[in-house]
Amino acid sequence: MLEVAHIHGGPVLRGVVRAAGAKNAALPILAAALLTEEVVTLRGVPDLSDVRFMAEILRHQGAEVAQPEPGTWVIRAAALTHRTPYDLVRKMRASVCLLGALVGRLRRAEMAIPGGCVIGPRPIDLHLRGLEALGCAVGSEGGLVRVDAADARGTDVDMGGPMGSTVLGTANLVMAATLTPGVTRILTAAREPEVVDLCALLTKMGARIAGQGTGTIVVEGVAALRGCEHTIIPDRIEVGTYLVAGAITGGDVTVQGAEPDHLGAFLDKLREAGVSVETGPGFIRAHGRPTRPVDIVTAPHPGFPTDLQAQFMALQLLVPARSTFTEKVYPARFMHAAELQRMGADIAVEGAVASVHGGKPLSGAPVMASDLRASAALILAALTAKGETWVQRLYHLDRGYERFEERLRALGADVVRRPAADLPKGFAED
């Protein structure tokens, strides 16, 4: 059943919310469980549609996957197939990280080119180039990628691309390298906390990895990996979204279980915008509205995260001045701007730059989410808009936020999930 978010703007958000596990860490970590025949137990896994899709794919590959309690997944991959069909991987791009796990474990893989959010081209050529550098034979035909790693050996692999390092590409190379003979040096490696978390899991499994969190990751191949238990890191994007929710309403929101070090550039921009920010071991607090314009340039970690660009744009609509957003990771990632304009926002987009002229009052309107982070940004803008807003295509939200509207309500928001049939006449979802 199609659902929509129905929001009445005005309430000020106050209170405490606990961070869920990181989606972008959980997905490659679930794939990494295929690297061993033994049991891998994962805790702190968020309850998201993307996670459930990944579990479905793992079962197709032959793994036993169980969820004994909320947030805990148990995987045992005693026997596996190297083929992954399109009807599964089309649901999300992160399924591409199965390549590294299958190559490492089975020395071969066959996968349809994956899908995901429509936020511009996100080719996997860097992933394939990296596997080729390891000595894998890589072929692509009819929408299928085939990898044969029989002759793979450790070597130097540069994972840099025109938009910087690739997170999932780095994850793929790390996973493949753990069981590849020799020493692999991954240059221009992604430094994201999610990559560090993957390396932490793999180290518990017996992998030999050094340099995670830097631009060079060194992996010494081992003969086999073992089972382990691991807890997923908190979701820094979700944390940032809740902090914006507090600030956009002039409220006071604390996120417990957060890691301030994971959000340095974002928190710096919050402070620059005039929001009061406090941090400590395991928490971040944001209170007060933004008062100053900012210029945002997205970049790979430790730069400003592209996954918080849309939410911060919604926040800067409150400031009576010009803020600019330059998208260096996904230059086409401004589809939310047109929907914010429907609410009264003054935003001009030219190429990879969006100019926001804030200070104009927002009015509730029917809007449509184009991707995961856009859906959150529209709900955030609706929190401060006059009247009621209907956010359609809510299935995007469920890919990356666990019980989002319920947790916002606990902070004081007037937001409910309703059947799409409840939309006012003429606003029916397509």
Percent of the chain with pLDDT over 70: 96
Query: What average pLDDT does this structure show over 268-292?
Result: 98
**Are both 313 and 385 inside the same structural domain?**
yes
Segment 240-244 shows an average pLDDT of 98
Q: How far is CA 116 from the centre of its chain?
A: 11
Residues 67 and 189 in one domain: yes
The reply to whether 348 and 276 lie within a common domain is yes
Mean pLDDT of the chain: 94
Instruction: Spot the catalytic one: 97, 117, 136, 199.
Output: 117
- Is residue 430 in a domain? no
Residue 395 falls within a domain, yes or no?
yes
Give residue 66's pLDDT.
98
Contact between 191 and 232 under an 8 Å Cβ cutoff? The reply is no
Q: Are residues 200 and 71 in the same domain?
A: yes
Sign of the CA dihedral with 84 first, then 222, 225, and 209 last: negative
pLDDT tens figures, 248-279: 999 999 999 999 999 999 999 999 999 999 99
Q: What residues does 357 pair with on adjacent strands?
A: 322, 346
3-state secondary structure of 389: strand
Q: Are strands 160-161 and 164-165 parallel, antiparallel or unpaired?
A: antiparallel
209 lies in the same domain as 102: yes
Does residue 342 carry a pLDDT above 60? yes
Mean of the pLDDT values across residues 393-411?
96
**Which pairs with CB-CB distance under 8 Å and at least 24 residues apart come from 212-215?**
214/189, 215/165, 215/187, 215/188, 215/189, 215/191
Give the model confidence (pLDDT) of 172-191 as tens digits.
Answer: 999 999 999 999 999 999 99
Q: Are residues 238 and 194 in the same domain?
A: no
From CA 207, how far away is CA 215, in angstroms rounded?
19
CATH number at residue 383: 3.65.10.10
User: Chain-centre distance of CA 281, in angstroms?
Assistant: 23
Number of H helices, E strands in the chain: 13, 26
pLDDT in tens, 368-390: 999 999 999 999 999 999 999 99
User: Does the reported pTM lie above 0.85?
Assistant: yes
User: Residues 39, 158: one domain?
Assistant: yes
Judge if 33 and 130 occupy the same domain: yes
Is the per-residue pLDDT at 171 higher than 70? yes
Predicted confidence (pLDDT) per residue in 69-90, tens digit:
999 999 999 999 999 877 777 7
Q: Do 239 and 383 fall within a single domain?
A: yes
Q: Are residues 15 and 120 in the same domain?
A: no
- From 222, 256, 288, give the residue that closes a domain: 222
272 part of a folded domain? yes
Q: Total domain count for the chain?
A: 2
Residue 119: predicted pLDDT: 43
| Contact present, 282 and 256 (Cβ < 8 Å) | yes
57 lies in a domain? yes
Determine contact, residues 170/120, Cβ cutoff 8 Å.
Answer: no
Rounded Cα distance, 358 and 193, in Å: 32
In a domain, 313, yes or no: yes
pLDDT for 428 equals 59
Whether 110 maps to a domain, the answer reads: yes
Task: Evaluate whether residue 320 is within a structural domain.
Answer: yes
Do residues 113 and 145 touch, judged by C-beta distance below 8 A? Answer: yes
Query: 51 and 174 share a domain?
Result: yes
Of the candidates 222, 254, 269, which is a domain's last residue? 222
Q: Is 199 a catalytic residue?
A: no
The answer on pLDDT for 162 being more than 90 is no
Q: Is 396 within the bounds of a domain? A: yes
163: pLDDT strictly greater than 80: no
> Which pLDDT tens digit goes with each residue over 86-134?
777 776 777 888 999 999 999 999 988 765 444 444 468 889 999 999 9
- Residue 390, domain extent: 3-20+234-422
Whether residue 103 sits in one domain with residue 48: yes
Residue recorded with tokens 């998208």: 327
- The whole-number pLDDT of residue 125 equals 84
Q: C-alpha distances in angstroms, 180 versus 221, 297, 401?
A: 5, 37, 36
Residue 320 CA to residue 323 CA, distance in Å, equals 9
How high is the pLDDT of residue 123? 63
At residue 426, the pLDDT reads: 67
Among the listed ranges 268-272, 350-354, 401-405, 424-428, which one has the minimum average pLDDT value?
424-428
